[in-house]
Structure formats: structure tokens, C-alpha cells
């Protein structure tokens, strides 16, 4: 069965902390994505990666960075968490031209 796993379901962090969100997929997909989901705005792309060590900025990359050292793992990093980064974060993976498979989401609260 296809699986995308995010490391945490709920996370509470303090302003200014460095935050790591981890995502692992077991489907050998080349494409991986990080989205942010906010009410009324749908899913907005933060970063995506189409291969190991390759990354491209999405629509809202400011304040975020990513790392993809291995094909199965795609990490989202909040360099210095701020309250406006409180949100739901969704990781996804896919093959080219195919559907996206999603993790269960991480609800991050920055206080």
C-alpha cells in the first residue's frame, strides 16, 4: 500500500525556534511537495523537489527552506518560526504525470 508519512501530526513551537518537518515516502516517487493549507486559501505550494538534491520554490517560499538528501525523504525547515507560520502543512509525492499521494498533515502552532 502506498504510504507518505509525516513525522508529527501536531506540533507546538515557540517564536524564533528552528523547526523541522519530515516527510518520507515508500513509493520511489521522484517528485515531492510541501504545501501549506489555510482556510479559504486551499493548498499553496511552498517548495517542490523533482529529484534528489533538486528543489524549486513554489508560491510562498519565504521563511522556509527544504532538504532532499535521499529520494524517499523531503524535509521542510522553518529557519525562525513566526506566528504567521501557524498552519496545516501537507507533504505529497508523485510520479510525473500522475496523482499526488498525501501524508496525514502536520498542524503546526507557533506561540
Partner 1 sequence: AQTVTQSQPEMSVQEAETVTLSCTYDTSENNYYLFWYKQPPSRQMILVIRQEAYKQQNATENRFSVNFQKAAKSFSLKISDSQLGDTAMYFCAFRGYGQNFVFGPGTRLSVLP
- Binding footprint of partner 1 on the chain (CB under 8 A): 31, 33, 35, 40-45, 48, 50, 58, 88, 90, 92, 94, 96-97, 99-100, 102, 104-105
> Cβ 43 to partner 1, closest distance in Å?
4
Which of these, 9, 87, 5, 18, lies nearest to 46 by C-alpha position? Answer: 87
> Cβ 24 to partner 1, closest distance in Å?
16
Which of these, 42, 30, 40, lies nearest to 92 by C-alpha position? Answer: 30
> Cβ 82 to partner 1, closest distance in Å?
23
User: For partner 1, which is the closer residue by CB, 58 or 63?
Assistant: 58
Contacts (Cβ under 8 Å, ≥6 apart) of 50: 30, 31, 56
Amino acid at each position: 500500500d502506498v504510504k507518505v508519512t509525516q513525522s508529527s501530526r501536531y506540533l507546538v513551537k515557540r517564536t524564533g525556534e528552528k523547526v523541522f518537518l519530515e516527510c518520507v515516502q515508500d513509493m520511489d516517487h521522484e517528485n515531492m511537495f510541501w504545501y501549506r493549507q489555510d482556510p479559504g486559501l486551499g493548498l499553496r505550494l511552498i517548495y517542490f523537489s523533482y529529484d534528489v538534491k533538486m528543489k524549486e520554490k513554489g508560491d510562498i517560499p519565504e521563511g522556509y527552506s527544504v532538504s532532499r538528501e535521499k529520494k524517499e525523504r523531503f524535509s521542510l525547515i522553518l529557519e525562525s518560526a513566526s506566528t504567521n507560520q501557524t498552519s496545516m502543512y501537507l507533504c505529497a509525492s508523485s510520479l510525473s504525470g500522475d496523482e499526488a499521494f498525501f501524508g496525514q498533515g502536520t498542524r503546526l502552532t507557533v506561540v
